[in-house]
Chains A and B, each alone.
Chain A
Amino acid sequence: EAQVTQNPRYLITVTGKKLTVTCSQNMNHEYMSWYRQDPGLGLRQIYYSMNVEVTDKGDVPEGYKVSRKEKRNFPLILESPSPNQTSLYFCASSFAGTNNEQFFGPGTRLTVL
């Protein structure tokens, strides 16, 4: 089944404790992206990747890192999480090109205490 998977689905952590949220897709998509969803703000892009070893900042990259060593994986790294990073995170992927729909993962709900 074609899908985007994220792990973990739920995470409660404490300020400053490094964490990684994994994202994997099995559709051979070139493009991958991370978003955060907050009430009243909709979805905002954190980072995106056009292909392996090609990543770039989105609208709200501060406090996050990403890597794209393989085509299928695009982990999101929070080196030192803070409470303002408490949010619902979505990974998405697609083929390159403006006409192509993005496929979204199920989301990761992160709480930073």
Chain B
Amino acid sequence: GNSVTQMEGPVTLSEEAFLTINCTYTATGYPSLFWYVQYPGEGLQLLLKATKADDKGSNKGFEATYRKETTSFHLEKGSVQVSDSAVYFCALRDPMNYGGSQGNLIFGKGTKLSVKP
């Protein structure tokens, strides 16, 4: 079945450091890929998405490129800030008509990022 694997945390960085959070997926079709962020005490919100191979999603200085050949969607940011401290979830959305579960999001387990001043 479809699945998402992302790097274990927690990740602790100093302010202005470079961030990479690895995410790989398994899917039988052509899913859309998402990064969601969860700030402390809040629900999840979409950070960025990519819907087809070689698409690059970007938002708030974060970027991720949909790599079909390596089945990856790694999250990167050139210079993190303290305000980026949060839990980051990689997710894919089932291709339509697969197994009757149209549109279900499948999440990785999340990576907690702490940025120190």
Q: Which residues of A contact B (CB under 8 A)?
A: 4, 31, 33, 40-43, 45, 48, 50, 56, 58, 90, 92, 94, 96-102, 104-107
Contact = CB atoms under 8 A, between A and B. Distances in A.
A4 B45 CA distance: 12
A41 B42 contact: no
Given A33-B104, A40-B109, A42-B107, A98 B43 contact: no
14 contacts: A40-B109, A45-B104, A92-B44, A97-B103, A98-B93, A98-B94, A98-B102, A98-B103, A99-B32, A99-B49, A99-B93, A101-B34, A102-B46, A107-B43
Contact of B51 (A4, A94, A99): A99
A82 to B, nearest CB: 24
A41 B43 CA distance: 16
Interface of B: 31-32, 34, 36, 42-46, 49, 51, 89, 93-96, 100-105, 107-110
B109 A42 contact: yes
B114 to A, nearest CB: 16
A90 B101 contact: no
B85 to A, nearest CB: 17
A40 B108 CA distance: 10
A56 B105 CA distance: 14
Of listed B42, B46, B104, residue having the most chain A CB within 10 A = B104
Given A42-B110, A43-B89, A31 B46 contact: no
